[in-house]
């Protein structure tokens, strides 16, 4: 008796029952991308490549410094010269979407864990397991539930990126000086003002370190997600390995390095800019 068809139907019903509403549209159509990632990809791929490079340089120069602007031009220009512009933008879009969702989940939980020791104690073993498990293991349940494509890649990347952001958020808020908190309470500031005016600025350097780690870990997971049909540079690396096309694999690998260096330097430059005023004061 063949149970495979029934098992497949059960898995499909389970995935439709457990998947969030905004993911069902992506699961329903074969090859249809996750809605937020697809929108970000469309925005990045619609203008000509030199427009995106110019905008990235101007933003980096205006918000950070001239060195970061030059780095943005070199890194994105390298992806363009290697004829991997579309794949690079797909990878950046997936990373951006995964990082935003990870931060939205991790920061509130980190703030609650910093204020409630019992919650922190309950989350600690879960985070230990999440950071100990090899990254590609997250792809297995995601593929089982959501099939192949960008959806399992996004889900696995979000899960992989949450622990460092959550831990460093908790650490940053626990390191806020008690004198500042007592001063805010003494002047009668409401809890929301204490959070936004005292705690968040004081913990911003630690939060930026967590954001840096979240971005880099998400990028590594998105590259591995090329194995499940997520597209981007990871798919090019996988294609180069399976077809023994060393040139393609090398070009895609160097493009990944360029994107990783760009994202790392952007967050590091923002961290250094955040620390300079604090050191001056």
In a domain, 64, yes or no: no
> So what's the pLDDT on residue 274?
57
pLDDT for 106 = 92
Q: What is the pLDDT of residue 152?
A: 78
- Asked, for residue 236, whether it belongs to a domain, the answer is yes
Residue numbers of the domain that contains 267: 4-45+84-280
Q: Is residue 72 part of a domain?
A: no
Q: For the chain, which ranges sit under pLDDT 70?
A: 1-38, 270-281
* Tally of structural domains, the chain: 1
**Structure confidence at residue 27 (pLDDT):** 42
Question: What is residue 275's predicted lDDT score, i.e. its pLDDT?
Answer: 55
Q: Is residue 51 one of the residues assigned to a domain?
A: no
Nearby residues of 268 by Cβ (< 8 Å), 6 or more positions away:
212
Residue 26 lies inside a defined structural domain of this protein: yes
pLDDT of residue 105: 92
pLDDT value of residue 9: 52
Rg for the chain, CA atoms, rounded: 21
Does 68 fall in a domain?
no
Is residue 71 in some structural domain? no
Dihedral (Cα; 148, 151, 154, 158), 10-degree rounding:
-110
Q: CA 125, CA 127: separation in Å to the nearest integer?
A: 5
We report the CATH number of the domain holding residue 14 as 1.10.3720.10
Looking at the domain assignment, is residue 213 inside a domain? Answer: yes
Maximum distance among all alpha carbons in the chain?
76
């Amino acid at each position: 008796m063949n149970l495979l068809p029934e098992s497949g139907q059960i898995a499909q019903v389970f995935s439709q029952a457990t998947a969030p509403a905004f993911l069902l549209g992506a699961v329903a159509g074969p090859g249809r991308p996750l809605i937020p990632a697809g929108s970000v990809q469309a925005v990045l791929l619609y203008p000509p490549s030199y427009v995106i490079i110019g905008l990235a340089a101007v933003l980096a120069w205006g918000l950070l410094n001239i060195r970061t602007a030059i780095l943005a031009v070199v890194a994105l220009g390298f992806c363009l010269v290697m004829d991997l512009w579309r794949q690079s933008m797909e990878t950046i879009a997936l990373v951006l979407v995964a990082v935003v969702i990870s931060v939205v989940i991790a920061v509130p939980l980190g703030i609650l864990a910093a204020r409630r020791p019992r919650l922190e104690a309950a989350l600690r073993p879960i985070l230990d397991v999440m950071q100990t498990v090899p990254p590609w293991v997250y792809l297995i349940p995601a593929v089982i539930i959501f099939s192949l494509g960008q959806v399992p890649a996004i889900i696995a990347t979000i899960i992989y990126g949450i622990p460092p952001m959550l831990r460093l958020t908790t650490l940053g808020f626990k390191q806020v000086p008690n004198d500042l908190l007592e001063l805010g309470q003494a002047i009668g500031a409401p809890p929301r003002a204490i959070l936004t005016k005292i705690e968040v600025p004081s913990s911003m350097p630690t939060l930026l370190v967590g954001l840096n780690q979240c971005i880099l870990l998400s990028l590594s997971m998105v590259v591995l997600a090329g194995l499940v049909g997520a597209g981007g540079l990871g798919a090019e690396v996988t294609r180069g390995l399976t077809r023994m096309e060393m040139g393609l694999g090398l070009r895609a690998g160097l493009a990944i390095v360029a994107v990783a260096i760009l994202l790392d330097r952007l967050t590091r430059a923002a961290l250094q800019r955040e620390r300079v005023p604090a050191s001056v004061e």
